[in-house]
């Protein structure tokens, strides 16, 4: 009898011992199953390392709130979502370049935001090499949001809702720029578009029309060398023959190398039907004008990509089929995903 009591006591002691060894701060949220990052079959491992920024539902929600909150701009007028709209695959629909703060115009076309965790660099010139710090560029750019990081952090710190949310996610209500960026990276890193009709076709879940399939073949023959599957970009920088002289030096702004003059990052063609207008300066309104450029409009210059010296030869019929195929890269589930919608105030 006494013996069994001792055993029970020992068991209780062991329980206490094991419980008390847990390191996890109860205030810090546990990774949430609803938000597991799924890497589709055939995709490489992401460049972005979530193990340095553990993904949680609360962290994602905080990042989303920041993304849609104009508090990130100097006069509280513009949010990230102002120029990155979900229905346009997080590009800025119908804008060659975006309006920033005070009605000022930007210099380059706002790209769609998706599959960012696989991108080795961000921006048309590849100047930003880390997803964590990407939002700093628009936040501090005088013609975009014109804010300073200390001021943004102070505004967040003064908002009890934010301090509570930061505490829930990171276990501290002392907000820093690093924590803000980590929360935003959790939202941005979940914006993944891998479920277009093309993807469903590749997985054997959908069929493409005869014209779309011909377009796919034409794509693979003529475009794949730069717009490589599955991301529909090889992440390289190329001059695709827009100009003979360069109003925007492009990649050379970063590398300071003359060979990079007029080169820009090859954009993904995923969701391309949703992200007009096209090119770094938004000069083409339609996909047919883009295809027309490659067929008849390539301008020669010293840095022109060697694959384009003769342009791309396509008949009108082929051009039309190619465009049919490009429409299969639209990911309806991505642009309607309720998880990514602007939260109700």
Binding site for other proteins (CB under 8 A): 2, 5-6, 9-10, 12-13, 16-18, 20-21, 23, 52-53, 123, 127-133, 136-137, 139-141, 148-150, 153, 176-182, 185, 253-254, 256
Shortest reach from residue 117's CB to other proteins, in Å: 13
Q: Give burial (CB, 10 Å; 0-12/13-18/19+) of 1.
A: exposed
DSSP 241-295: SS-SS-SS-BTHHHH--GGGTTBEEPPP-TTGGGS-SBSTT--B-SHHHHHHIII
Q: Closer to other proteins at the Cβ: 110 or 131?
A: 131
Q: Closest Cα partner for 239 from 316, 177, 160, 294?
A: 294
Q: Closer to other proteins at the Cβ: 73 or 330?
A: 73
How many whole angstroms separate alpha carbon 285 and alpha carbon 298? 17
Shortest reach from residue 26's CB to other proteins, in Å: 14
Shortest reach from residue 226's CB to other proteins, in Å: 24
Using left for φ > 0, alpha for ψ between -120 and 50, and beta otherwise, residue 106 falls in: beta
Quick check: 210 and 268 in contact, CB under 8 A?
A: no
Q: Closer to other proteins at the Cβ: 135 or 282?
A: 135
Q: Closer to other proteins at the Cβ: 150 or 204?
A: 150
Shortest reach from residue 115's CB to other proteins, in Å: 19
Shortest reach from residue 98's CB to other proteins, in Å: 16
Q: Closer to other proteins at the Cβ: 116 or 223?
A: 116
How many whole angstroms separate alpha carbon 182 and alpha carbon 72? 15
């Amino acid at each position: 009898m006494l013996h069994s009591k001792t055993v029970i006591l020992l068991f209780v002691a062991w329980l206490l011992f094991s419980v008390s060894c847990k390191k996890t701060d109860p205030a810090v949220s546990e990774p949430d199953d609803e938000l597991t990052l799924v890497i589709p079959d055939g995709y490489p491992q992401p460049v972005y390392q979530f193990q340095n920024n553990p993904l949680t539902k609360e962290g994602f929600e905080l990042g989303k709130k920041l993304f849609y909150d104009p508090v990130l701009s100097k006069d509280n007028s513009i949010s990230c979502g102002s120029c990155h709209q979900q229905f346009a695959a997080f590009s800025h629909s119908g804008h060659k370049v975006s309006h920033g703060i005070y009605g000022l115009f930007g210099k380059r076309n706002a790209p769609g935001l998706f599959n960012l965790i696989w991108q080795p660099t961000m921006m048309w010139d590849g100047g930003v090499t880390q997803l964590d710090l990407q939002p700093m560029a628009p936040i501090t750019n005088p013609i975009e949001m014109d804010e300073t990081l200390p001021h943004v952090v102070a505004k967040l710190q003064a908002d009890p809702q934010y301090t509570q949310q930061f505490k829930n996610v990171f276990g501290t209500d002392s907000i820093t720029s690093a924590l803000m960026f980590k929360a935003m990276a959790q939202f941005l890193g979940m914006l993944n578009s891998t479920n277009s009709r093309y993807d469903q076709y590749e997985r054997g879940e959908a069929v493409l029309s005869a014209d779309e399939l011909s377009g796919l073949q034409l794509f693979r023959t003529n475009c794949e060398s730069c717009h490589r599957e599955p991301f529909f970009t090889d992440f390289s920088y190329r001059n695709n023959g827009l100009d003979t002289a360069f109003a925007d030096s492009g990649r050379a702004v970063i590398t300071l190398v003359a060979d990079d003059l007029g080169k820009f990052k090859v954009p993904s063609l995923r969701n391309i039907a949703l992200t007009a207008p096209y090119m770094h300066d938004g000069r083409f309104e339609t996909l047919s004008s883009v295809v027309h450029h490659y067929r008849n409009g390539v301008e020669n210059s010293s840095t022109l990509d060697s694959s384009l010296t003769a342009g791309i030869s396509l008949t009108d019929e082929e051009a039309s089929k190619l465009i049919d195929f490009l429409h299969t890269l639209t990911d309806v589930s991505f642009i309607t995903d309720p998880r990514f919608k602007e939260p109700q105030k």
